[in-house]
């Protein structure tokens, strides 16, 4: 694959779609082992906009009843995190007394995870689980346990498969890394 340009940056290939899809199937298998046959209906909480592709692919492989709920949080401007999490869209359903599987595209510092966990506790969620497509373990500063992780990656700026650079690149089936990084 060749390099691509998005806005003012150049990106090089990083993770091909075939590897992403296989990792998602493996996470779905773990979720199926833990939730198949459960009496309640857990909530899959898709953190928009980034986790929409991951959530969609993940749901195709789940073998237990679940309810899809969405919210939109933001903490990035360009290629940098602001360190502050803003709720751009409220939860689309009540989580009180429910088990909630938070579905994230990527976890780096953990700022967003801490914020959504706090919101869910305040709204009465029974129990929460964290499921992420990508985890930047070396950048993670939070204490919340990551329950389900498709892939661990280095602390690099990436886009594709739902991840964006100033709202572009989400539609790419592969994941691309900023060219100036190794």
- Give the residue numbers marked as catalytic: 108
pLDDT of residue 91: 92
Grade residue 181 by pLDDT with cuts at 50, 70 and 90: confident
Token pair belonging to 16? 């091909």
Q: What is the mean pLDDT of the chain?
A: 93
Strands 80-89 and 99-107: unpaired
The helix (H) or strand (E) run that includes residue 115 is helix 111-122
With bands split at pLDDT 50, 70 and 90, how would you rate the model's confidence at 76? low
Band of the pLDDT at 100, cuts 50, 70, 90?
very high
How far is residue 35 from each of residues 29, 69, 108, 156, measured CA to CA in Å? 10, 17, 26, 33
Residue 84: band (very low, low, confident or very high) from pLDDT cuts 50, 70, 90: confident
Q: What's this model's pTM, rounded to 2 decimal places?
A: 0.93
Domains and their CATH numbers in the chain = 15-176 (3.40.50.2020)
CB atoms within 10 A of CB 42: 21
């Amino acid at each position: 694959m060749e390099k691509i340009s998005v806005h003012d940056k150049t990106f090089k290939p990083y993770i091909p779609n075939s590897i992403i899809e296989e990792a998602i199937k493996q996470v779905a298998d773990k979720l199926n082992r833990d939730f198949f046959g459960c009496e309640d209906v857990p909530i899959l909480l898709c953190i928009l906009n980034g986790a929409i592709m991951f959530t969609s692919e993940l749901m195709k492989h789940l073998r237990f009843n679940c309810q899809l709920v969405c919210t939109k949080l933001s903490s990035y401007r360009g290629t940098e995190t602001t360190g502050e999490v803003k709720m751009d869209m409220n939860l689309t359903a009540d989580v009180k007394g429910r088990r909630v599987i938070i579905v994230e595209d990527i976890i780096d510092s953990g700022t967003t995870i801490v914020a959504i966990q706090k919101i869910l506790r305040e709204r009465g969620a029974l129990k929460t689980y964290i499921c992420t497509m990508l985890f930047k373990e070396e950048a993670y500063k939070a204490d919340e346990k990551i329950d389900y992780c498709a892939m661990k990656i280095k602390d690099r700026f990436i886009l594709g498969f739902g991840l964006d650079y100033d709202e572009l690149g989400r539609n790419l089936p592969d994941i691309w890394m900023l060219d100036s990084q190794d």
